Amino acid sequence: MNEKLSITLPTEMVNLIKTRVEAGDYASTSEVLREAMRVWMRQEEEHRERIASIRARVKSSLDDPRPNLTGEEVKAKLSDFFEKHR
């Protein structure tokens, strides 16, 4: 089902749309806008997937049973490691 929608765009966007239609790249202004919406929807989905991935990694990190170390503790452990492996 299609629904009619009235929108207002800046002149430069309208001119670009008309130019692409006149060049034969698209059959109509509606086709241009449908393609733009498909691209936007795909970008939105990719963004949601990236955010979900980041949240999963943060949760995994927070749930990590290994003890937290301070910066100084990390430096000390690294120094000990490098001393033993010289």
Write the CA distances from 27 to 13, 19, 30, 76, integer angstroms. 17, 11, 8, 67
Q: What pLDDT was estimated at residue 14?
A: 97
What is the pLDDT averaged over residues 29-56?
A: 98
Q: What pLDDT was estimated at residue 66?
A: 86
The residues spanned by each domain of the chain are 7-64
> Do 8 and 14 touch, CB atoms closer than 8 A?
no
pTM recorded for the entire structure: 0.67
The yes-or-no verdict on residue 55 having pLDDT over 90 is yes
Which has more confidence, 74 or 67? 74
- Closest Cα to residue 19, out of 29, 33, 8? 29
